[in-house]
Structures are given as C-alpha cells and as structure tokens.
Structure 1
Amino acid sequence: MKSILSIPVRLIVLMTLIAGVSCNTNSKETADQSVSKPNIVFIIADDMGIGDLGSYGQKHIKTPNLDQLAQGGMRFTQFYAGSTVCAPSRASLMTGQHTGVTHIRGNGEFPLRGQDTIIPQLLKKQGYRTAMYGKWGLGVQGTPGSPEKKGWDEFTGHLHHVDAHFQRPDSLWTLTEGKSVKIATPEDSYGNNIFTQKALNFINDQSEETPFFLYLSFTVPHAELVVPEKYMKPYLDEDGNSIFAPEKAWPDGRHYGGQPFPKAAYAAMVGSIDDYVGEVVDALKKKGLDKNTLVVFTSDNGTHIEGGRQRSDVDFFKSSGVYKGVKRDLYEGGIREPFIAYWPGTIKASEVSDHVGAFWDILPTFYELSGGNPEGINTSGISFVNELYGKPEQKKHDHLYWEFYEGGGKQAVLKDEWKAIRLKVKKDRNAPIELYNLANDPSEEKNVADDYPDVVKMMDSIMTASHTENPLFSFDK
C-alpha cells in the first residue's frame, strides 16, 4: 500500500525534522555553553602570610573553613603574588601583566588607565555580572580607574588605599546609578563585616541563568590590628589577656589604632577571614550554586611588620612558613602566597599542586573559563585551566619576573630551581645579583652566585629583557 504522504510532502517533513534536530542541538549547545561558564568568586586577604593557614602548616591560629576549602579542592604550593605590596600586586592581578610591564608598579594613588583592560571588563563581554566589595586602590573617583569605568556592576568599599588601613571606617564608597558616591557607615561598624554581608546579599540575588564574578577584597590582616571582639575571644584567657604572652602593646595616637595584644589580634584577624570565607561558601551551597562556582582564596603579598606586629611575631606564628622575608621583600616570604582553588565536582578534592603560577596568570585563566580565547589578549600570563582540570598538558612559564621601587629598588627572577634577586638597583643598575637554589635552599639562606656565574649572567639578561621603562616608577629616580 502506498503512503498517504506524497514524495514532496515527505521531503518537507524530513527537512522539518532535520531542522528541528538542528535547532534543538543548537539550543542545547547554547544552554550547555551558558551552564559551562562557571561563576567565579575570588577572595583576597590583605597582608596574609603563606604560613598563616592550617593547611599550610599554621599551629597557633585556627582556620577550619579555609582548611576545609583546601581539603575539598586544590592547594597550590608555589603560587606568587603580583608584587610585595598591595597596589602593584592588585594591578598585576587585574591587568594580567607582571610589574616589568604593568602601569602601576608601586604603592600610591596611581589609577588604572583607560587603555588598561581588566578582568571584570573581559568577563562582562562574556555575559557575566560583576561585583566587588572591599579594597580597590586602583583609581579614586574621577579617574580612569574608578570602579564604574572598569567593568564593575556593583561595588562597595575603599577607593583610596590609605582609607583601607582602618578597620572601622566612618564611610565607604559605593556605586549608585553608575557613579561612585560616598556613604556613611553605621557607628562602630567593621568594614569587613559590611563587605561580607554585601557579598552574601549578592550571591542570594543571583540566578543560574547568568554567570557572575564576585571579587571580595578584605582589608585584614592588614596593619591596624583592630578586630571584632568575638574573634579575639579564642585568643584571650579567662582574665582577658592574650594567650600568646608576653605581648608588646601598640599605643594609641599613631597612624594605626592601638592594640594591647598584637599577636592575639593578628590571630583573630586571620580567624575573621576564615569565618567570612565559611559564610560565603555556605551561601553558595544554600543557593545551589556551589557545583558551578570556582572559589579562589589567596593573599596580595606576604605578612607585615607594622601597627605593632614585630619580626618576632612573624617568627612565632611562622607566618612566612619556612621562607625568608615579609611584605616589601622579593624573597619568597614577601611574594609566595597561599592559593586555594575550590570547585566541587570539577577540581578533585585534596589535590596539591606544585604548578608555578603568579597573579598575572589569573586574567587569562578566568577569561578562558568564561569561554574566551586567552591567546588573543594582551597578558604576561598563562592560563592554568588545565591544571585546575587535572589535565597533564598544562603550559608552564619559562620564568617569572618582579620589580619593586621601595628600599632602593629591587628585581627578582624565578627560573626553574633558580631564584635571583638584585637589590639597590637605583644606585646601580648592575648591582650584584644574589642567587639561590630553591630546590636545595627554599629559605634562601645560601647565596651561591659566586659558584654559578653562568646562571647569574642568564638571570641578569632576563632582568634586562623583562623591564620596560615607566615614568612613574623609574629606577633612575
């Protein structure tokens, strides 16, 4: 029996079915692409040392939430900050450029330029909603680096980096109708409590349809050692004294607020970060967003010795771990940071990575995760997406380079197991180079420059090639 459908009709039906399959496939691909773009939460501490977390060896300070984050994800052992103080480190993070290239290479109110394309701008083009809460320091109101000009949909925090020195600000900046405006804060409120609550509100307002990038930039454990009482309690005895006695009090009347127990306060500030991170992760889980959200935690540079904190305190807590140096040093303790990546179901639990990375790698990594091509952007970095996925074909740096303009000028290069440091560059562009073999001497105790002149020569050539002149930060001034 013949079909009741004529050949032309059957052709039309067949073509319709094919078109339908094609449309459904495209729709599915589009949906999958949308779902495959992960939310990204990037949390950065201010002046936390690599040894301040339990997962990195800390014995005195309790950090259960961050330790759990590390246990549930990937803990990097050789990840580096962009610089050894906050402004250039954060500029390196945002621009994806090392300090031999990026515009901002030292502290101060030097704004990002109009031509500097940064992470939130790239992610917005990929369909992300962007929010930042906390310390900015890369452009005050009216400059090209002001948050509303750099891709942020939402912002509440400090524009000027000095304002971020104080833990109980009387005002903060926020974005209102696309403009930066200053608002008063509740009396005796703590800035980081406000930033965390803003982050929680932002997470609760998100849906699965639109990916988001949340940048939570704390101002602790920076040098004003002032912290909510509930975080101090675990580090005080029954009489209200520090459990880390003897303590040397920091008096009132100086730039940073007074603190009778600097060691206990520092521990409490690290503990407060741990609590805030726990709240953020819990909010993601309650919202059902955790499986499609990459959470990264790190610090902008090494631990500090300011505001009442002394070198002996650093040694007591082993805040720099086994490494030499603190904030403002280009030794490992000033730039090697805690770096934890957590993404349940994508990043395997309890992973430890010895991948050598730096802040300038974060921009190409996030851009690739968003669906962009990192090969097509201007960056010093290398995407480490494959490392996060556990794939073996991860690209590696030939070397890493830093320069810093305080203390007479400094340069540093890391290549394979070799670390080279040049000090007092402003006095002499050809000042002697210190050389360390980190494989044998991670604490940088033995300068072996005299034993390896060929390696020193190689490192010198890398320093020369990596440095570009910058009128704001010149080694000749």
Structure 2
Amino acid sequence: MLLYGNTSTTQKTFADTTNTKEKPPNIILIMADDLGFGDVGFNENKEVLTPQMDYMAKKGITFTNFYAAAPLCSPTRASVLTGRDPFRQGIFAAHTEGMRPAEKTIPELLKVEGYSTGFFGKWHLGWLEPDKVESRGKYSPPWHHGYDETFATKSAVPTWDPTKTPKGWTSWGSQEDGSWGGSIYIRNGEPVTDNLEGDDSRIIMDRAIPFIENSINKQQSFFATIWFHTPHEPVVAGPEYLAKYPNLPLGKQHYYGSITAMDDQIGRLKDFLKAQDVLENTIIFFCSDNGPADPQVRKGNASAKPFKGHKHQMWEGGLRVPSFVYWPGKITDGKISHYQSSTNDYLPTILDILGVTLNKKHVLDGVSLKPIIFSDQNLERLIPIASGYKRLYNGTELYAFVKGRYKICIPEKGDKMMLFDLKNDPGETNNLAAEKTELLNSMIAELEELKISWKQSREGKDYKW
C-alpha cells in the first residue's frame, strides 16, 4: 500500500548549512493571479516587458515543471500556506470555504521562530468582515492564521483604481454608481479608504514595504506574503503602462500593461531590500495561482504556451505556472530546474531551510525543495503531484495526477480519464489510455487511494491528535 502525505519535513537545521551566527533569512512569498506560463519574459514571451522578474529568474532558480495545486485560486492559496492538498482541507473551488483554524500555516509556524508576519493583497481564503459573510464562504481572515499585519481583499478587484468599476465592465462586481462592489481593502479588521487610486500592485506594495522596513528596524526576521491581483479580471492598466505597448490591440495593452506594472513593483521591492542591506539574506519565492483566465485566453491576450488549456481545466496550461526562487546570498549561479514541484512544496521547503520540525502525525503533500536549491543533483520526485477541482453547483469534478513522466487527468467537464506521457508529449495531444491500460488503471488506483486519504483528513482525522 502506498502511503500518501510526507510526514518528515526536515533533515538539517539552518545552522548545518550556514554560518551559525547568521540571522535566519527573511522570506517573501509572491504570487500573481491568473498569470499564464507564457505570460512572462523568462518563459520565452518576447512581447511582454518583465525585466525585473526576468533578472531574478536568471540569477535564481527557474522552475519549468512547477504546478499550482489546483487550476483556480482559493485551493492553490490554501496549498501554499499549509503544504497540503486543497481537497485534504475541504477547499474544493473558489471562495467556498474558509481555511480551517486547525490548519498549521507558514506564518503561524514562523511566528514561533521569532518572525514578524505580514499579508498583503488578495486573500481569497475566507471573508474578512464577520458581519458581511454570505452563504458562500466563512469568516476566516489572515489574522486568524498567523499574520501580525494585514492589508487584504477577500477576492478580486480591478488592477487599476481598485475601488471603481472599470469602463465597459458589466460583469460581477460592477455597480451602477461606478464604485466597485466585488471586494474592498481591509487593514487589520478595518476598511481602508486612503491611497487606493491608480495601479493596484503599487497600492499593495505601498503597504508591504513599511511592514518590511519596520521589521528591519526592529532587527527581526520577517515573513511577507504578497499576493497581487494582477492579471485577474477586470484587468486594467494605467496610461503609463498602456503606452509601453502602442502596437498591440487594446485588450492586450491592458493585460501586458498590468503585468509590467506588477513587475515594476517587484523590482521596487528588490531595490528596497538592497538599499536596506538585507537582500542577500532574503528568499523570494514567485509563482502564479493557476493558469491564465479563460476569457483572456479566448481573446488572445493571455498565454499558457507551450501548453494546452487554461484556468478551470486540468490540462497542463491550467496547472503549470511560472515560478522562480531568488536568494542572492545563497544562489550565486542562476540555473533552470526541471524538477517536478508544486505549491505544496513551499511550507516543507521553508521549514527545512530553517530546521523547523512538525509533529510527525501532521500529514503534508509537499516535499522540501532545499536539495534543489543547494545542489545541482538531478533528483526525481518521490511523491506524486495531485490536483482536484469540484464545483458543486454545476457538477464539475476534475482530477489530475502526475507521477514522473506520466499524467492521468479528467481535463474538462464531461471527459473521461486520460493518460499522457509528458516527457514526449507535453502538449497533451496523444491520449494513451487505450494503449497503456495497465498503467492507467494503476495510476487511477493510486489516485483513488489518495482521495480516501483526503476524505479522512477533511473529516477530522488530522485534527484529533
């Protein structure tokens, strides 16, 4: 019988691989929203301007086989903070459940180690105001999960002027009076009304940098989570960024312009850390929460190239996302890693680097990427990567299971289980289900066993010890 869930999170302490007098590293988790694999320069897009991310990816480690835990937002976000598959936590789709209080999160664990913790941007793991909770979701704000400082929205806002309905936008969140009805910014439990004009990525960074500066002044290691709204719809770029793409269609100007604006803010953060003399001792992780949004792909603005599919699908384009790790004090020679990795790996990686251990009964679905960061070894992942997506109201129930070169998946609603050889067919054009039935059935059996483990966890098994 296969045992799912990695229960060993560390092998060496931080002091084992570094100077014992060195201060524990600062840690920043950056995530874009609906950014496709092919929407950044470091993944061979020659049109979009992302010089800051391109530089950091080149000097750090670029992950080409990095998977979001789900092809949509909330489940992946839960995975990032816990190292656990979303189905294990009961988070099946977008904003349907809040994160459970019993889940162990990165900020909770790092606070015990003396870190200051801050969250900035799109939360999407529960409502932020107890009196505003609707039928879809629960009150579960960042400050219930280990964050000292919070500047957050519960869900998406426009990427320019986030308090206003963009011109021409008539879908969810739009208001007749021109205000934005989808979400508002909350700081530590209170609504925010000032400094909310212009580029949303800049608005977020305006709050993240003071938190970091305050931590530096207190000589305290910090953990900052910066989850941008860009380029989630409604995607709008300001005049300065539209002007950078004069020869593109207007929709693509807005899409690329918002990404470039986000890139500028990531560069601003890097420059600030350097000016404060803490860049060398800061780890920056970057990824997207899922593939590009369906409408933006159909309009030709967004790209998951070279992969098939988009957000809400189990094709590689819905799951495989841009990712890098930048740590100039430890990663001195940039490299590209083809190691299969996922958002589940952030928690075990961070704990492994710091030498922090969890209760052995605490089930994880991720593995530490520390050996990849500190070594050039050609390692193979021992734990499969699994994804699930379930929308109760329309009957959607999709799965993907990646084990080595092979992947089984139900890519879209109505499909049967398919089998692909990702090594020879990364574009998923040749379904091998009929040809390799023994392998297909074996992988389905493993997935079914994992689904039992997920069910046991979310029904309380993991929370009784």
TM over 0.5: yes
1:196 corresponding residue in structure 2: 205
Q: Does 1:215 align with 2:203?
A: no
In structure 2, the partner of 1:161 is: 155
Separation in 2 of the partners of 1:373 and 1:388?
19
Instruction: For residue 70 of structure 1, report the CA deviation from its aligned partner.
Output: 1.0
* Counterpart pick for 1:172 among 164, 168, 185: 185
Distance 1:471 1:102, change over 3 A: closer
Counterparts of 1:471 and 1:94, CA distance in 2: 17
Aligned AA (1:384): L
User: What is the CA distance between 1:109 and its match in structure 2?
Assistant: 4.3
Q: Is the 1:81–1:358 contact (alpha carbons within 8 Å) kept by the matching residues of 2?
A: yes
Match of 2:177 in 1: none
Match of 1:448 among 412, 417, 432: 432
Q: Distance in 1 between matches of 2:383 and 2:456?
A: 24
Secondary structure of 1:321's partner?
A: coil
Aligned-pair CA distance for 1:326: 0.5
The question of whether the paired residues in 2 share the 8 Å contact of 1:408 and 1:423 is answered with: no
User: Contact 1:167/1:219 (CA < 8 Å) preserved in 2?
Assistant: no
8 Å Cα contact 1:368/1:374 also seen in 2: no
Cα distance in 1 between the residues matched to 2:457 and 2:376: 42
Deviations 1:242-293 (A, max 9, x none): x12xx4xxxxxxxxxxxxx211111101111111110011011000001110
Partners of 2:121 and 2:98 in 1: CA distance:
17
Within 5 Å, give how 1:57-456 maps onto structure 2.
57-140=44-127, 141-142=129-130, 145-158=140-153, 160-162=154-156, 164=157, 167-170=160-163, 171-175=184-188, 180-186=189-195, 188-207=197-216, 209-236=219-246, 243-244=247-248, 247=249, 261-306=250-295, 309-314=296-301, 319-373=303-357, 376=360, 377-390=362-375, 392=377, 396-406=381-391, 408-422=396-410, 432-456=416-440
Paired residues of 1:92 and 1:98 also in contact (CA < 8 A): yes
Instruction: Give the paired residue count.
Output: 409
Q: Secondary structure at the match of 1:451?
A: coil
1:308-342 C-alpha deviation (Å, 9 max, x unpaired): x342515xx6x212101101111100110111101
Pair 418,121 (structure 1): closer, same or farther in 2 beyond 3 Å: same
1:109 and 1:137 in contact (8 A); partners too: no
Give, in whole Å, the separation in 1 of the partners of 2:251 and 2:205.
Answer: 24
Name the amino acid aligned to 2:367.
I
Aligned residues of 2:158 and 2:235 also touching (Cα < 8 A): no
Alignment RMSD (CA, Å): 2.5
Structure 1 alignment gaps of length 5 or more: 1-27, 237-242, 248-260
User: What amino acid is the match of 2:155?
Assistant: H
Q: What's the offset of the Cα at 1:442?
A: 0.4
In the TM superposition, residue 345 of structure 1 has moved relative to its aligned partner by 2.9
Secondary structure in structure 2 of the residue aligned to 1:302:
coil
Q: TM-score, normalised by structure 1?
A: 0.80
Aligned CA distance change for structure 1 residues 34 and 201 (closer, same or farther; 3 Å): farther
Q: State how far apart, in whole Å, the 2-side matches of 1:72 and 1:411 are.
A: 35
Q: Which amino acid in structure 2 is aligned with residue 325 of structure 1?
A: G
Task: Tell whether the 8 Å contact from 2:116 to 2:215 is kept in structure 1 after alignment.
Answer: no
Change (3 A) 1:54 1:472: same
| Partner of residue 5, structure 1 | none
* Letter matched to residue 161 of structure 1: S
Larger RCO (CA under 8 A, 6+ residues apart): 2
Measured in 2, the distance between the counterparts of 1:196 and 1:99 equals 28
Q: 1:416 to 1:313 in 2, by over 3 A?
A: same
In terms of Rg, which structure is larger?
Answer: 1
- The 2-side partners of 1:66 and 1:399 are apart by 29
Q: Which amino acid aligns with 2:403?
A: K
Q: Is the 8 A contact 1:126 1:371 kept in 2?
A: no
Cα shift at 1:348:
3.3
Tell me, in whole angstroms, the C-alpha distance in 1 between the residues paired with 2:142 and 2:215: 21
SS in 1 for 2:212: helix
Aligned letter for 1:408?
Answer: T
Distance 1:183 1:60 in 2: 36
Residue type of the alignment partner of 1:148: W
| Residue 469 of structure 1: aligned partner | 455
Return the offset for 1:186.
Answer: 3.9
CA distance 1:147–1:184, shift in 2 (3 Å): same
Deviation per CA, 1:356-405, whole angstroms, max 9, x where unpaired? 11111111111222330257443111111111112639672331111111
In the superposition, relative to structure 1, how do residues 342 and 375 fare at CA in structure 2: closer, same or farther (>3 Å)?
Answer: farther
Q: Do 1:86 and 1:300's aligned partners in 2 also have CA atoms closer than 8 Å? A: yes
Q: What is the distance in 1 between the residues matched to 2:457 and 2:216? A: 45
Q: CA deviation at 1:92?
A: 1.2
Q: Which stretch of the first structure deviates more once superposed, 289-298 or 100-109?
A: 100-109
2 CA distance for matches of 1:190 and 1:289? 26
The structural deviation recorded for 1:167 is 4.0
Q: Distance in 2 between matches of 1:219 and 1:77?
A: 23
Partner of 1:39: 26
Q: Deviations over 1:204-243 (max 9, x none)?
A: 223283211111110001111212221111112xxxxxx1
* Alignment CA distance shift 1:153-1:393 (3 Å): farther
In the superposition, relative to structure 1, how do residues 437 and 187 fare at CA in structure 2: closer, same or farther (>3 Å)?
closer
Q: SS at the partner of 1:106?
A: coil
In 2 relative to 1, CA 118–266 (structure 1 residues): closer, same or farther, beyond 3 Å? same
Q: 1:165 to 1:102 in 2, by over 3 A?
A: farther
Report the CA distance shift for 1:118/1:394 in structure 2 as closer, same or farther (over 3 A): farther
The alpha-carbon distance between structure 1 residues 446 and 46, as it changes in their structure 2 partners (threshold 3 A), is same
Determine the C-alpha separation between the residues in 1 that align with 2:377 and 2:28.
25
The offset of 1:93, in angstroms, is: 1.1
TM-score, normalised with respect to structure 2: 0.82
How much has 1:422 moved relative to structure 2? 2.3
CA contact (8 A) 1:80 1:337 kept: yes
Secondary structure of 1:401's aligned partner? strand
Q: Give SS of 1:432's match.
A: coil
Residue identity over aligned pairs, in percent, reads: 27
2-structure distance, mates of 1:110, 1:409: 17
Checking the alignment, whether the CA contact within 8 Å between 2:159 and 2:201 is kept in structure 1 is no
